[in-house]
């Protein structure tokens, strides 16, 4: 079966709007959290988020094109374009039938949905909806737009599994290349849910931090005083490619995806299994497929949302699976910097993991002031400052509401 490598990266995130800026933000421990500007959040329990700074669609799209794209799809197009350019793909030479797009979003065009329904409610007795309402809202449309732009006629669809969505997209692309169904994929995910419905909905679940007094440091994975995640927005894209195909065109290779895991907690719609059984199993499945042992892993980019239950269950799973080696690895939660990009989290965190491997630097878990005593104190959580480390093999974890767990093992070549 084919080997699968990563040959291109693209990202638009709250701490950097391209790969270079994103990496600078990661290694310097930059917080992307600030007051919400997308809407008036004064009456909301949470008034801060990790927004893309200074974003203007006119910098990327003409007015006519932007009107047809929800913000989540705009972020998708930007990240995908960066990855395609970074990969050096010659679009005139590759086989478009063997090139596909698998793109994820946990929620899709929620801003479009909110705008259209609000307009209907306040617009009087005659229903008036934009002809772009449905095409802008649906979660699969970003994959469609990307395939149209590049003419990719291979497999094309979306994955939706809450916060595990874009890791599932990467896994699907990996599997289809392994099976010989395609040679190359644009994959990843995007999300744009910082609006009244997104913030209000997560507030009502008590899933999101309400620490308005310390908004800049409110994303606190593993900290005793964490009180939920900080919402982020943006997108991340990876080019996954058949190894021989990449060699034949002289592509640069960032790393190889060697193992994947997918499990379900089958426990609760929002809470993780308290013993981290699903997290344990998903990492074990990914390791088993990779052919590596627990002692081969140097770094884990954890899901690490800063929710009270999630951080404990994930670290418990790591200790249970890795045993004594758990204390030799580096662990970090980059959501402490970017916030939680929901369906796009897996993509930008896989990218963070790959950049860490290629630069031999582990990005930190910032805002970790008072470690939770329920979390094993022997773990190296890469506290508040990046650490130099040679990373040969790494894991990126993502878990979603509904009990969805996804994990990938990435190897440096």
Is 138:108 a contact under the CB 8 Å cutoff? yes
| Catalytic member of 38, 145, 273, 340 | 340
Please pick, among 38, 145, 303, 404, the residue that the annotation labels catalytic. Answer: 303
5 and 231 Cβ atoms separated by less than 8 Å: no
Contact 232, 239 (CB under 8 A): no
Q: How far apart are CA 8 and CA 147, in angstroms?
A: 16
Give 255's DSSP letter. Answer: E
Pick the catalytic residue: 163, 168, 245, 404?
Answer: 163
Query: Is residue 340 flagged as an active site residue?
Result: yes
Closest CA to 384 of 363, 356, 361, 365: 365
DSSP string, 180-235: TS-SEEEEEEEE---SHHHHHHHHHHT-B---GGGGGG---TTBTT--SB-BB-EE
Query: What is d(CA 130, CA 111) in angstroms, rounded to the nearest whole number?
Result: 13
List for the chain the helix, strand, coil content (%; round to 5): 40, 20, 40
CB 161 within 8 A of CB 278: no
Residue numbers annotated as active site:
163, 303, 340
């Amino acid at each position: 079966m084919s080997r699968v490598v990563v040959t291109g990266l693209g990202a638009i995130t709250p701490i950097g709007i391209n790969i270079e800026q994103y990496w600078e933000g990661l290694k310097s421990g930059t917080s992307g959290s600030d007051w919400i500007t997308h809407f008036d959040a004064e009456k909301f329990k949470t008034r801060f988020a990790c927004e893309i700074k200074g974003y203007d669609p006119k910098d990327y799209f003409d007015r006519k094109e932007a009107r047809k794209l929800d913000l989540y799809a705009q972020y998708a197009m930007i990240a995908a374009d960066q990855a395609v350019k970074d990969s050096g793909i010659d679009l005139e030479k590759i086989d478009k039938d063997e090139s596909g797009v698998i793109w994820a979003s946990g929620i899709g065009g929620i801003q479009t949905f909110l705008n259209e329904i609000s307009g209907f409610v306040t617009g009087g007795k005659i229903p008036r909806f934009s002809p772009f309402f449905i095409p802008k809202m649906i979660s699969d449309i970003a994959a469609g737009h990307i395939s149209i732009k590049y003419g990719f006629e291979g497999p094309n669809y979306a994955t939706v599994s809450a916060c595990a969505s874009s890791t599932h997209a990467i896994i699907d692309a990996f599997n289809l290349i392994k099976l010989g169904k395609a040679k190359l994929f644009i994959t990843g995910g995007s999300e744009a849910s910082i609006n009244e419905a997104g913030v209000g909905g997560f507030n009502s679940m008590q899933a999101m931090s309400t620490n308005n007094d310390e908004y800049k440091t409110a994303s606190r994975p593993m900290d005793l005083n964490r009180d939920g995640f900080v919402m982020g927005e943006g997108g991340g894209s990876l080019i996954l490619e058949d190894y021989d195909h990449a060699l034949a065109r002289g592509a640069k290779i960032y790393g190889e995806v060697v193992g994947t895991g997918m499990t379900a907690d089958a426990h609760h719609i929002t809470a993780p299994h308290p013993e981290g059984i699903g997290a344990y199993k998903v990492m074990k499945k990914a390791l088993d497929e990779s052919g590596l042992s627990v002692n081969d892993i140097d770094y884990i980019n954890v899901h690490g949302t800063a929710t009270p239950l999630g951080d404990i269950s994930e670290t418990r799973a790591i200790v249970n699976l890795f045993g004594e080696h758990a204390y030799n690895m580096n662990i970090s939660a980059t959501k402490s910097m970017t916030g939680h990009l929901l369906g796009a989290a897996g993509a930008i965190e896989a990218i963070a993991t790959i950049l860490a491997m290629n630069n031999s630097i582990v990005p930190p878990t910032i805002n970790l002031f008072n470690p939770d005593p329920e979390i094993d104190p022997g773990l190296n959580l890469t506290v508040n400052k990046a650490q130099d480390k040679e990373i040969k093999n790494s894991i990126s974890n993502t878990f979603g509401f509904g009990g969805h767990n996804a994990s990938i093992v990435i190897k440096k070549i």
